Structure 1
Amino acid sequence: MGYLYEKSIHLYDMKLLAGKDGLDHPAEWIHMIESSESASFLHGNEVVFLTGLLYQGERWILEYARRLKERHCAGLVINVGPYIKKIPPSVISYCDAEQFPLFLLPWEVHLVDITRYLCRFIINEEKKKESVLNYLQQLLIVPHESQAPCLALEHSGFCVEGAFRACIIRETHTDKDHDAIMALLKLWKSQLLIFTYHQDIVILLSHMAFQDIKQFAEDVYHLMKDKHIAVSISIGSEIHHISQLYVTYMQASSIQILAKGQQPPVVYYDNMGLYKLLLNGTPPSILQHFYEDTLGPLRAYDETHQSHLMETLRYYLEHDCSIKETAAHEVVHRNTILYKFNKIDQILGTSVYSEENKLAMMMAFKIKDLF
């Protein structure tokens, strides 16, 4: 919004009356609305022009400003003249308090001229954003040739150094196309840097604390759920130069398989622990062979005897190898757990108490989650 204001100060004598702290709000289009009821049709980030044709006094215009603020508009431009001769102090105070930019425009200015002028800048900014998205796509398509896209990004005003993460959204069990999902996301947060790559929708997250990233991912999931769109979401680790976008993308892509077992289906590479080793380029056939060697006989025994030794062993390993906790979880005496462990030792031909064996078994369970 501030950029459009700077372009209009001298040419059209537009003045900022209130809401200076909200000038960083994105402005995406121009609308002329004469009644507050029409504000319900706005999507957000619009700059609204008002001549006051239906002006009914101070309370009316204060309610008008409130409705625009509720719709997350970028700002209000009041064309002062025969209908609105002076902007009430209460409106100025409200816009200052709410950080909602309020501008005054002389009646002599032709609205068709200034709106066309501002729309040209908005369209140019949209084209620049599309170029940025194309260059980000190139960084994934040809990651070993990152120099040219990075230079182009810098030329477009994009800061290539910072804190970035790739967020992948992947559809599950729905027939929604990517365009519909992307349109929904842009309507929700218009400034998202979002594009498609293969079967994925990719969002570039930048300069966000990890807690904010978690909230963002969960918000996206619930937004999709409310529209009956099933998705899984994964987020890679932080990179500090955009040339490394492929790294954080591949991390997010590699853990997508783990999202299916989560509720909500959202996973973060930073929280993967042992999975990072398992997903770091090891062929699936080798991982499956390791799982079969380590836990295959125990799985086969459970299937044949309808027992649950695998569940007992996993709970034990995931709870600090505490026999007491495992017994309490299964509501049995600790001697029953010791008997089960003795049986597991016989089946696997190894000891569940060996530190090396514990690590191997835990890795085998992690591998089981992947397939």
Structure 2
Amino acid sequence: MSITVGKLFGNGAVLYQMKLLAGQKGLNNLVEWVHIIENDEVSEFLHGNEVVLTSGILNDGDGWLLEYTKKLYAARASAFVVNIGPYTKSIPNDVIEYCNQIKMPLYTIPWETRMVDLTRNICYRIMQSEQVEISIASTIKNIIFKTGDIETLILQMERYGYLRDSHFCFIVMSFEHKEDNQLEFDMNKIKMYSERLARSIHELYISFSYKDSWVLALVNYGNYDVTNFVDTFFKNWNEPSWKVHMGISENKAGIKMQAENFNNAFTAMTMAKKQGKEMVFYDKLDIHKLLLNAKDKEVLKEYYKDTLGKLEKYDKENNTDLMSFLYMFLQNNGSQSLVAEKQYIHRNTVNNQLKKIEKITGYNPSNLEEKLRFYLGFFVKDVL
């Protein structure tokens, strides 16, 4: 839970005579660090989500500060603080208008305020916030994985504002490079992106990494808020080379219930990954819930081997696609005429294919009970 610009500078007016001139709509921007940068080649110094301070030593006239601000925005700075004095006597209106437009908070401090004092305070606040974030994440993980006394852990959560009857919705994300290479995903990017989005909707959330995945727990978000988060996440995802697979748990009340809720989110993410989907909501998994939560996976493997395994092996050895044909048959309620129409083949051909499937597997796809057996086999295939 990174600190926001608004919280970071909440008492700045009293301590440092800070004035907020523009960008009020960006006060929820998250802050990772702070820099004093006088060089206008800001991209060389910034990683994103930083507060930048400058006195404008290189300010050589009209337009300089606006161009500097544009470079800060391109480098994804969170806020901009200008030390008003001999180098920058005032802030031009076009800079104020631009900061309002891009929602970047723009502050001024008087020349008497030493920038080094302000940066020291910012660094301390950021590190303090990080310690709280680490402590909260550690506590919720102990609750999830049942490590320690549950009542003691709940009291720790309540001290941070997470009440025992709060609603939690876990979102687990995994990342897959589209070019199928072994590049490691930068978790810090997803941390800042997901937290910034969560913060724009509501205040309480918890985030941490787990088994090469990123976990975000939305706390006391409504069901509409959860859906809004997921939709907005994918709408604005700007890492085209990386595909995200997301599993979303139910929105469940009670800290004691969250171990199961987290596992359900992880299960949904696993399903999304297997099916190549962007997202899967656990409460919409239906029959997959039963199969994914089966303790003995060997039973499922044996079931699949007995129903569809022989057909899959036949397809591989004979370069056929009877599996797809059977699935289409089942998806069309076992209607030979519909399959014939969609495949542009004669009904006799459909019947011959079904007889071939029966011969290979030992089960008749037109028989109601055995049709159900095949259908369940495809569901099992999804989870193996």
Q: Which bin holds the TM-score, normalised by the shorter protein?
A: 0.7 to 0.9
Q: Could you state the TM-score of these two structures normalised by the residue count of structure 2?
A: 0.79
In 1, distance between residues paired with 2:100 and 2:312?
67
Structure 2: gaps (5+ residues)? 199-205
Q: Does 1:24 align with 2:41?
A: no
| Deviation string, structure 1 residues 62-104 (Cα, Å, up to 9, x no partner) | 1111221222212111111111112112222222232221111
In 2, distance between residues paired with 1:214 and 1:145?
37
**Residue aligning to 1:47:** 51
In 1, distance between residues paired with 2:346 and 2:299?
38
Query: Which aligned pairs between 1:63-212 and structure 2 lie closer than 5 A?
Result: 63-142=67-146, 146-158=150-162, 161-169=166-174, 181-183=186-188, 185-186=190-191, 193-197=206-210, 199-206=211-218, 207=221, 208-210=225-227, 212=229
In 1, distance between residues paired with 2:147 and 2:331?
38
The range that moved more, 299-308 or 73-82, is 299-308
**24 and 57 in structure 1: CA distance in 2 versus 1, 3 angstrom threshold:** same
Sequence identity, in percent?
31
CA contact (8 A) 2:365 2:371 kept: yes
In 2, distance between residues paired with 1:276 and 1:218?
28
**Residue aligning to 2:301:** 288
**Residue aligning to 2:289:** 276
1:124, distance to aligned residue in structure 2 (A): 0.5
The range that moved more, 16-25 or 90-99, is 90-99
The partner residue of 2:230 within 203, 208, 213 is: 213
Amino acid at match of 1:213: V
In 2, distance between residues paired with 1:305 and 1:23?
63
The range that moved more, 157-166 or 283-292, is 157-166
Q: Does 1:326 align with 2:339?
A: yes
1:318, distance to aligned residue in structure 2 (A): 2.7
Q: Does 1:238 align with 2:255?
A: no
**7 and 266 in structure 1: CA distance in 2 versus 1, 3 angstrom threshold:** same
**320 and 283 in structure 1: CA distance in 2 versus 1, 3 angstrom threshold:** same
1:302, distance to aligned residue in structure 2 (A): 5.8
1:317, distance to aligned residue in structure 2 (A): 1.2
**Residue aligning to 1:339:** 352
**217 and 73 in structure 1: CA distance in 2 versus 1, 3 angstrom threshold:** same
**54 and 301 in structure 1: CA distance in 2 versus 1, 3 angstrom threshold:** closer
Structure 1: gaps (5+ residues)? none
> Runs of 4 or more off by more than 6 Å in structure 1?
170-177, 217-220, 303-306
In 1, distance between residues paired with 2:25 and 2:310?
66
Structure 1 counterpart SS, 2:9: helix
| Deviation string, structure 1 residues 218-275 (Cα, Å, up to 9, x no partner) | 987x84946xxxx883414223345444324323444566556544686554553432
1:158, distance to aligned residue in structure 2 (A): 4.4
**360 and 146 in structure 1: CA distance in 2 versus 1, 3 angstrom threshold:** farther
CA contact (8 A) 1:217 1:233 kept: no
Structure 1 counterpart SS, 2:334: coil
In 2, distance between residues paired with 1:211 and 1:320?
35
| Deviation string, structure 1 residues 301-337 (Cα, Å, up to 9, x no partner) | 6678775443321221134434244335544212110
Q: Does 1:316 align with 2:321?
A: no
